[in-house]
Every structure is written in C-alpha cells, then in structure tokens.
Homo-oligomer: A and B are copies of this chain.
Amino acid sequence: MGFELKGKVVFLATGNIHKFNEARAVLAEQGLTAAMLRMKGVEIQSENLAEIAGTSALATFKECHLPIIVEDAGLFVYALKGFPGPYTAYVYNTIGNAGLLKQMENLLNRQATFRSAVAYCDNLSGAVTCFEGEAAGELTHIQRRGGRATFGFDPIFKPDCTDKTFAEMTLEEKNKFSHRAKAIRKFAEWYKST
C-alpha cells in the first residue's frame, strides 16, 4: 500500500491548470517534480494570504498525507485600499477585468501589487512553512492579451520595468516577473536543501 516518491516531488493542490503550469515550470528549473492534486482544501477568509494558504495546506495534508503546497495569490490595488486582495479569484469571477477597469475610471494612481504566498505542509503537527513573492506594477487602461491562454487579471496588470502585461508574455517571461514564480522559487530553493 502507499507508493514510493522517487526523487524530490511535491504536490500542488489546486484546480487551476494555469497556476499549476506556471508553478511546474519554476519547479522544473530547480530540478523538482510537481504533481497536480485536484483537491480543494477549505479556504478561510483572511486578509493574509499566507494564513489562507497555510490553513488550506494543513487541511489538505490531513486528507492525503502527501507533501503539499498550496499557493494563494491576490492583486492589491493601492487606490482601492487593497481591493480585491485576498478575494481576487471571486472578484475576477464576478465583475472581472472589465469591472475592475470600471472601478479604476478617473483614478490617477493605478499602482497595484500582485502578491503570492506558497505554504508547504508535510506533517500533522500544524507546522506549515510559507514563502512569499510579489510583483509591483500598474493597471493598464484596457485589456491587453497575447496569444497565450491566461487567467485572472493578467490582461490588465503590467509589472514595472516591462512594457507587457502578464497576458502578453510567454509563460517563461511571466515567470521572470511574477509574484507566483518568485514565491515558488523561494520554496524550491528551501525544499531542495531539506
């Protein structure tokens, strides 16, 4: 019963294939193997992404006893007091890119930061290890998409020091700049060393 993990493997609990593909590419850079675990742990309401991801990682570990990472991300818009923040996925699914651009009409300050928290859990003690990454940038005035299938607010977020939105970048380019890649990379460096 059970199965043997060969090499360093980690299970990303998510139902979002785009998120998984981004994370897998970063983990592969670091020589790690990622598996997608389509299980949805309970997400708590909190304004702290690490707390949300950590609670979910522990709950998922309790169900499957595999080394788990959960990633939670949010877009924090300065002029909107951080909205949509930890509720980014919900806000994307309701008002979407068009709704967020509407909310920004006539606002001069378009600064926004994408934040990511990656929580790792491989035990029942409640100990969860968290890694964070962020990408500072600004909201565009219109949606700008490239050829790639993207998700969330990628078509309206342009990181600083680039001219492209996340949606206009290849996955490899996005992984140079993105909050998620930065957090996953920190996790990977730590995980290789354990």
Q: Which of B42, B52, B86, B95 is the one whose CB lies under 8 Å from A80?
A: B95
- Say yes or no: is A31 at the interface (Cβ < 8 Å to chain B): no
On whether A105 and B103 interact (CB within 8 A), knowing A85-B94, A94-B80, A95-B81, the answer reads no
- Say yes or no: is A146 at the interface (Cβ < 8 Å to chain B): no
- Say yes or no: is A45 at the interface (Cβ < 8 Å to chain B): yes
Compute how far the CA of A44 lies from the CA of B86 in the bound complex, rounded to whole angstroms.
12
Closest partner residue, chain B, to A84 (CB atom):
B94
Closest partner residue, chain B, to A83 (CB atom):
B94
A81 close to B94 (CB less than 8 A): yes
Number of interface residues of A (CB under 8 A): 25
Q: Which of B81, B82, B90, B105 is the one whose CB lies under 8 Å from A87?
A: B90
B residues in contact with A44, CB < 8 Å: 42-45
Q: Which of B42, B46, B93, B95 is the one whose CB lies under 8 Å from A103?
A: B95
A98-128 near B? 1/0 per residue, CB < 8 Å: 0100110100000000000000000000000
On whether A102 and B103 interact (CB within 8 A), knowing A82-B94, A85-B94, A94-B82, the answer reads yes
Compute how far the CA of A145 lies from the CA of B45 in the bound complex, rounded to whole angstroms.
30
- Say yes or no: is A91 at the interface (Cβ < 8 Å to chain B): yes
5 contacts between A and B (CB under 8 A): A42-B45, A45-B45, A45-B52, A81-B94, A102-B102
Pairs A-B, 4 closest by C-beta atoms: A83-B94, A43-B45, A81-B94, A87-B87
List 11 additional contacts besides A47-B90, A85-B94; criterion CB under 8 Å: A43-B45, A43-B46, A44-B44, A80-B94, A80-B95, A80-B99, A81-B93, A82-B94, A83-B91, A87-B87, A103-B103
